[in-house]
Amino acid sequence: MEIQQLTVKKQQPLIFKFCITDEDFRYYTRFSSKKVFTVFWESVYPSASRLVYWSKAQRTAEDTPSPQRKLPLIDEFFMFLCRVAAGLQEKTLSSIFEVSLSTVSRTILTWTSYLYQVLGSLPLWMTREQVQATMPDEFKRYCPQVRVIIDCTEIRCETASSLTLQSETFSNYKNHTTFKGLICIASCGIIAFVSKLYTGIEITRKSQMLQLLQPVDGVMADKGFQIEKILSEVGATLIIPPLKKSTQLSMEDTQRTQAVARLRILVERAIRRVKEYHTWDGLVPLSMVGSVNQLWVICCLMSNYQGPLDLNGDKTV
């Protein structure tokens, strides 16, 4: 089914004026091509066409109908992507789409809530059989028991006036207040778990990722992850580069260290993809606290549509 057939025929959607080539789609939407965008759009259109807009959802004692749609549905989605993926400001979007600022705000909030529900309902965690079936040869050679590769990342946010919240969110690594999140990827490079954003530490335990692990599962991480004890509670093991026991690593430990470093880089690339959604370019305002978790999950899960990562470089396979 052509995506043009799923839109309002009387009004040519702006997306087809801005996005002509695959490069255009990558710039404005972060989807890898028009084909991938089309597949995603056709999968969400049936439910998206029944959206209840944010402003109506807030009314509890009124029977006022939801505001009439001012844009083709596909352009509402395009507006959301222009804001989140391309980083265009709401004032700019108001001019481009020729709608009011309130319409822009309402549309983005509505699609944020909708996509969070839709993408969050997808089964991400891969079974052992799926992990083994998609595991690259290098993993099979050095770390055949690995279930996921994990890493934390930080998103800079505005500094709160509360001293308590300041101390909870302050990051020595970033020398700024941040929200912290945990990402787990399968060995094939697909994001398989996303935590909520947290202000403090002990994210691995708080994230409930441990509940998904099974005995003998291997969790690959950086040396900074001191989670061996909590992994042992569920029978899982920690895979990190070997620690130096003498002035020089053995040949075996050297090879293992190099292998783990090569394999771990996949999760760093996955996080970089998420950070390339330009909504994260500046400080997250405290006014976004109510929706930042939803946007974080959306960006993580939509980055999967760019395709699995390749061990040999930042390209899809």
**Once rounded to an integer, what is the mean pLDDT over residues 59-88?**
80
Q: Could you tell me where the DSSP H helices lie in the chain?
A: 15-18, 22-29, 34-48, 54-57, 73-84, 90-97, 101-120, 128-134, 137-142, 163-169, 203-206, 228-232, 251-275, 289-302
Binned at pLDDT 50, 70 and 90, residue 316 comes out as very low
In the chain, the percentage of residues whose pLDDT exceeds 90 is: 58
For 304, other C-beta atoms within 10 Å of its C-beta total 18
**Once rounded to an integer, what is the mean pLDDT over residues 243-262?**
69
130-161 pLDDT, tens digit each: 999 999 888 888 889 999 999 999 999 888 77
What are 19's strand-pairing partners?
none
Q: Are 301 and 193 within 8 A, CB to CB?
A: no
Give the integer Cα–Cα distance in Å for 112 and 106: 10
pLDDT at 109: 93
pLDDT at 7: 46
Nearest to 217, CA basis, from 146, 129, 149: 146
Give the integer Cα–Cα distance in Å for 197 and 56: 28
CA dihedral defined by 300, 301, 307, 308, rounded to 10 degrees?
70
Fold of 128-316: Nucleotidyltransferase; domain 5 (3.30.420)
| Domain boundaries, given as residue ranges, for the chain | 3-120, 128-316
The β-bridge relationship of strands 146-156 and 218-220 is: parallel
Q: Which residues contact 175 (CB under 8 A, 6 or more apart)?
A: none
Q: Are 195 and 182 within 8 A, CB to CB?
A: yes
83-112 pLDDT, tens digit each: 999 999 999 999 999 999 999 999 999 999
Binned at pLDDT 50, 70 and 90, residue 255 comes out as confident
**Once rounded to an integer, what is the mean pLDDT over residues 158-181?**
79
